[in-house]
Amino acid sequence: MENRLTQAQLTRLVGEVERLSQRQQDELDRGQVQDILRELNLSPDLLDEAMIQLQRKDALIVQQRRQRWLIGGAIASLVVAIAGVTVFMQQQNQTLNRVSAEQSCVALAQDSCDDRTLSRQSSPELFYNVTLNDAPVGKKLPLTCDWVAPNGQVVKQNRYETRQIDTAVWTTHCRYRLDASAPTGTWQVRLRLDDRPLSDAKFDVK
């Protein structure tokens, strides 16, 4: 220990001595505790067991406090995680809600929009070509395409995922082979993003 102290060190030293002195006055030795127990007509023989019980209770209080901190931390982390997922889902939904169809048509070839008459006799493969606006770049879109016969029955449903989109204006298509037994009349094809309608088109089959 250094022999010379600064005024600040002396002040701290005096404070520490006072604290230890007060603690020593507050603490009772074993003999004093036994005397108090006798005055209360309690058996000093139970002192050791009582001390053990007190230590256990103190340890339990510390453990419960630690558990509450752990549980509180876990709940806080869970709340933050849920909030993060909620924000992410909202952003995803907003992105998907911006997607719209610019144009669409039924044709006999991919990426085509000719107005040929559709005949079931040749069993042609029909393409529903759709150009999307505000497509989310870097993502894939889950699409559903329903081919509806003149009687309103969905005779074919395409469920597919686009390739990774690399431009905000994006062309996609679904297809259906019209067989010779297909009913004649006005057909309809509908494209949905999840459960949200994007576009539809009618075409005649002869």
Q: Residue 199 and residue 189: Cα distance in Å, rounded?
A: 8
Q: Is 195 helix (H, G, I), strand (E, B) or coil?
A: coil
pLDDT of residue 85: 78
Domain with CATH 2.60.40.1930 in the chain: 100-205
pLDDT of residue 121: 77
Q: Residue 149 and residue 183: Cα distance in Å, rounded?
A: 7
- pLDDT < 70 positions in the chain: 1-3, 20-30, 33, 47, 88, 91-93, 114-117
pLDDT of residue 110: 79
pLDDT of residue 38: 76
- Judge whether 160 and 62 are in contact, CB under 8 Å: no
pLDDT of residue 73: 85
pLDDT of residue 75: 87
pLDDT of residue 20: 64
Q: Residue 141 and residue 171: Cα distance in Å, rounded?
A: 12
Neighbours of 131 (CB within 10 A): 19
pLDDT of residue 22: 66
Give me 149's structure tokens. 């016969």
Q: Tell me the pTM.
A: 0.57
Instruction: Order the strands of the 142-148 sheet from edge to edge.
Output: 154-161, 142-148, 185-193, 196-205
pLDDT of residue 122: 77
DSSP-assigned letter for residue 53: H
Q: Which helix (DSSP H) or strand (DSSP E) does residue 148 occupy?
A: strand 142-148
One of 3.40.50.2300, 1.25.10.10, 3.60.15.10, 2.60.40.1930 is the CATH number of 100-205, namely: 2.60.40.1930
pLDDT of residue 128: 93
Count of alpha carbons within 13 Å of 100, Cβ hemisphere only? 2
